[in-house]
Amino acid sequence: MNGKPEGETVLLTYGTFDLFHVGHLRLLKRLSALGDKLIVGCSTDEFNGGKGKTTAIPYAHRVEILEACRYVDQVIPEENWAQKRDDVQRYGVSLFAMGDDWTGKFDDLQDLCDVLYLPRTENISTTELKALIQSMRAGPSV
């Protein structure tokens, strides 16, 4: 028994989802159209810290934003790299999907489910948004 109703297509993706933007929204919308249930693993502040990443938005707020998104059915914490295999089995995942900057990194899950790498939305990224905000805070250069 895999924990999902017969015939239900369960999708799983992970991300930090800091400074939630249209790229995040479009990814979640595309994913939700591919199945019956979309589960999103949101990276905790502690996990991000271990990766050397600092978020502008605290974990609890990022989860609240994701839960309010009509394309998301469930949000779970992403606490470490190794949990993906367990999560795929625990939630009866049919399709694991990530942005194409991760191409090949999760192919080891193909013995459990299909793996898909989707193209990112052009000209938008959290990293670029943070840089833009930082430059705006610094003011005009003289």
User: Among residues 4, 29, 37, 53, which one is catalytic?
Assistant: 53
Q: Rounded CA gap, 78 and 41, in Å?
A: 5
Q: Rounded CA gap, 82 and 71, in Å?
A: 26
Structural contact between residues 118 and 98, judged by C-beta atoms closer than 8 angstroms: yes
Q: Rounded CA gap, 113 and 106, in Å?
A: 11
Catalytic residue flag (residue 51): yes
User: Among residues 4, 51, 84, 130, which one is catalytic?
Assistant: 51
Catalytic residue flag (residue 53): yes
Residues with a known catalytic role: 51, 53
